[in-house]
Chains A and B, each alone.
Chain A
Amino acid sequence: MEVFNPNPVIFAPAKATGRRSKPSKPESFWDDEEADVEVDENTVEPIDQDEIFDLIRHISDPEHPNSLEELRVVSAPQISVSENRVIVEFTPTVPHCGMSTLIGLSIRVRLMQSLPPRFKVDIFVKPGSHQSEHAVNKQLNDKERVAAALENPALVDTVEKCLEKAESWGA
């Protein structure tokens, strides 16, 4: 297999943010009962940038033994979250990186498996970071292409390998 970036720069990972998506219990100063009010099932549980980052930082690069975080392919500031939309930008290590769609697909699968279904996820390469930026972005955000890719056993196998570490981190 062709190696697109034989010698990537590796960065030390930051400490895990340790944040979890459990809503903190509302504090009550005068009535214990109120604090135990059941959480309305329509309550939207907020999820922030750091939690999304925790989900994807440990995904392995398809051609190196390193994580996407160590290669600075993903970073927390490149993630934006609103009530029901997540936008993830990632930076391929080299502009001709042929692994970019695979990396993007791994990020998408990880988020699909982990986030509540209300989230629409859009994934883009960092502007100017890839020579086929438009093509990569288009493919990663075409749900039909993604669905078909995930029916391809060889590809699913590769994606699962990239996700093994991320999953064992549990996030």
Chain B
Amino acid sequence: MTRFKIAKVAELQGHDERAWNIAWNPAKPLLASCSADKTVRLYHYDHATDSPDLRFTHNTTISTGHTKTVRAVAWSPSGLSLATASFDANVGIWEQEGGDEGEGPNAGEWECSSLLEGHETECKSVAYSSSGTLLASCSRDKTVWVWEVQPDVDFECLGVLMEHTQDVKCVAWHPHEEILASASYDDTIRLYIDDPSDDWFCFATLKGHESTVWCVSWSPDGRYLASSSDDKTVRIWKRVKEHSWESVLVLTGHERSVYSISWGVGKSNDDASLGWLASASGDGQVMVWELTKPSDSDTAPMSSTPPGHSIIARLEAAHGVYDVNAVAWCPRQGYENILATAGDDCSVRVWKVIPE
């Protein structure tokens, strides 16, 4: 098995307070970060001439107008819209003036095209569905909202899901189906689908974590869901029936809350790879697991056989002595081994996972 290391590519300073989250634009070389300083920073990246390494340059800072921490950022699949979730209870939708004409220095300012109001307290996470037609948001008010993204960035609320008994920490859409997952302070994960003749509803409650579930991330093939928790573990849930998911694996190694996970396709030479799962924790570590198809994946794809797993890389003190709040793989082709993290030291760091 190849051993990998996590090597630093860039350290991006600029936020004045804790950096909470990062999001890679899926279409363009842009990385967004958000912070308790209420701003969003955008970085452009390219290859330096005669160097294989990526070079990051600060592109712009959006002073969002949010009156409190910007807790999370998410790009639409087209890469044209950026959503912000703030402790001021609102979701902002940001688009660049002049739209899709480019990202050069002459491109326009980022402006707030919609402000989605409705949550009663801190909004903690926001996510676009794979088609870009739906947006989900969640809050300490215990609700998950599903919004329809209409032409001309008009948003209509399709449903308010009140299943959780506590604070909802994270929402994530399935990579190709309209299934939504939410993670909560009530220690559970809930899965939702749309009933075509009725409303959005919760079809599964995943119990197993022993404390707050901070983050959920789907496998690239959509057959698995990973979750990370204050109980210091990462769990892998597998689809065993059309509408049924089972906990099949518990990954350990972190010593404090695991605040964030990201499951990317990775750059493995193993044909059975299900991709690379990265985790970030209050213990300062970033870990990368490779998950592989179980031997019965062709004959019994919905068996409860767990996937194979191994830690391929591990980085201590990714942000020095500080907590690592978020981790995200770059989704763009050719950049599958590039990772960004956000930390309590106010910085955003970019890493590459390369053979040792």
Contact = CB atoms under 8 A, between A and B. Distances in A.
B211 A144 contact: no
A151 B123 CA distance: 13
Contacts of A145: 140, 167
B322 interface: yes
A20 interface: no
A84 B69 CA distance: 27
A77 interface: no
Given A120-B256, A143-B282, A148 B69 contact: yes
B169 A144 contact: yes
Contacts of B87: 147-148, 151
B282 A120 contact: yes
Contacts of B121: 148
B340 interface: no
A44 to B, nearest CB: 10
Contact of A147 (B18, B167, B169): B18
Contacts of B124: 144
Interface string A122-166: 000000000000000010011111011001000000000000000
Contacts of A118: 321
B212 A151 contact: no
> Contact size class for A?
10 to 19
Interface in B302-352: 321-323, 344-345
B36 interface: yes
A138 B282 contact: no
Contact of B36 (A84, A120, A141, A147): A147
A28 B343 CA distance: 42
A118 B344 CA distance: 11
Contacts of A151: 68-69, 87
B192 interface: no
Contact of A138 (B68, B185, B256, B345): B185
B122 interface: yes
Contacts of A143: 257, 282, 323
B343 to A, nearest CB: 11
A142 B69 contact: no
A106 B66 CA distance: 26
Given A118-B321, A138-B211, A142-B212, A147 B69 contact: yes
Given A138-B211, A148-B140, A117 B68 contact: no
Interface of A: 84, 117-118, 120, 138, 141-145, 147-148, 151
Given A143-B282, A147-B36, A147-B69, 14 more contacts: A117-B322, A118-B321, A120-B282, A138-B185, A141-B230, A142-B185, A142-B212, A142-B230, A143-B323, A147-B18, A147-B87, A148-B69, A148-B121, A151-B68
21 contacts: A84-B321, A117-B321, A117-B344, A117-B345, A118-B321, A120-B256, A120-B282, A138-B185, A138-B211, A138-B212, A141-B230, A142-B185, A142-B212, A143-B323, A145-B140, A147-B36, A147-B69, A147-B87, A148-B68, A148-B122, A151-B69
